[in-house]
Chain A
Amino acid sequence: MGPALRMAESPSELPEGELSALIRAAGDGDERAWTRLVDLYARRVFALAKSRRLSAEMAEEITQSVFATIATKLTAGDYTEQGRFEAWLFRVAMNRVRDEMRRQKRQASPMDASSFALDAAPETGGQRASVEELDSLRGAMEKLSDADREIVELRHHAQLSFKQIADLLGEPMGTLLARHHRALKKLRDIIGTGSGEQGERKADAS
Chain B
Amino acid sequence: MNEHDTYENGTPDELRGIESALNRLGDAERASAPHDFEARVLERVRAGADEAPRSIPIHRHRTTARPRVVARLSAIAALLAVVGGAWFALQRTTSTPPAADNGIRLVSLEESVGDLLAAESWLDDMTSVDTTAAQDEADQIDTMIGSPWELIDTLDAAMGGEAI
**Interface of chain A: mostly helix, strand, loop or mixed:** helix
Q: Assess whether B34 is interfacial by the CB under 8 Å rule.
A: yes
Interface residue A107 (Cβ < 8 Å from any Cβ of B): yes
- A58/B18 in contact, CB under 8 A: no
Q: Is the C-beta of A181 less than 8 angstroms from some C-beta in chain B?
A: yes
Closest to B39 in A: A38
**How many of chain A's residues touch chain B, expressed as a range?**
35 or more
Q: Point out which of B14, B19, B33 has the most chain A C-beta atoms below 10 A from its C-beta.
A: B33
Is B134 an interface residue, CB under 8 A from the partner? no
Contact B53 A61 (CB under 8 A): yes
Q: Are A79's CB and B48's CB within 8 A?
A: no
1/0 contact string of A144-167 vs chain B (CB within 8 Å): 000000001001110111110001
Q: How many residues of B contact A (CB 8 A)?
A: 60
State whether the Cβ of B156 lies closer than 8 Å to any Cβ in chain A: yes
Contact B29 A79 (CB under 8 A): no
Residues in chain A near residue B159, CB distance under 8 A: 80
User: B30 to A157, Cβ gap below 8 A?
Assistant: yes
B65 at the interface (CB under 8 A from A): no
B47 cross-chain contacts in A, Cβ below 8 A: 68
A10 touches B149 (CB 8 A): no
- B interface, over-half SS: helix
Q: Decide if A143 is an interface residue (CB 8 Å cutoff).
A: no
Interchain CA distance A59-B31 in the complex, whole Å? 13
Bound CA span A79–B51, Å? 18
Question: Given B24, B38, B54, B158, which contacts A121 in the complex, CB threshold below 8 Å?
Answer: B24
Tell me which residues across on chain A come within 8 A of B5, comparing CB atoms: 161-163
Please tell me if the beta carbons of B48 and A72 are within 8 angstroms of each other in the complex: yes
29 contacts between A and B (CB under 8 A): A1-B38, A38-B38, A38-B42, A42-B41, A55-B56, A64-B44, A65-B52, A68-B49, A71-B45, A73-B157, A84-B164, A88-B164, A92-B153, A95-B149, A95-B153, A103-B55, A109-B58, A120-B32, A121-B24, A122-B31, A124-B23, A129-B28, A133-B24, A134-B25, A157-B29, A159-B26, A177-B7, A181-B12, A188-B17
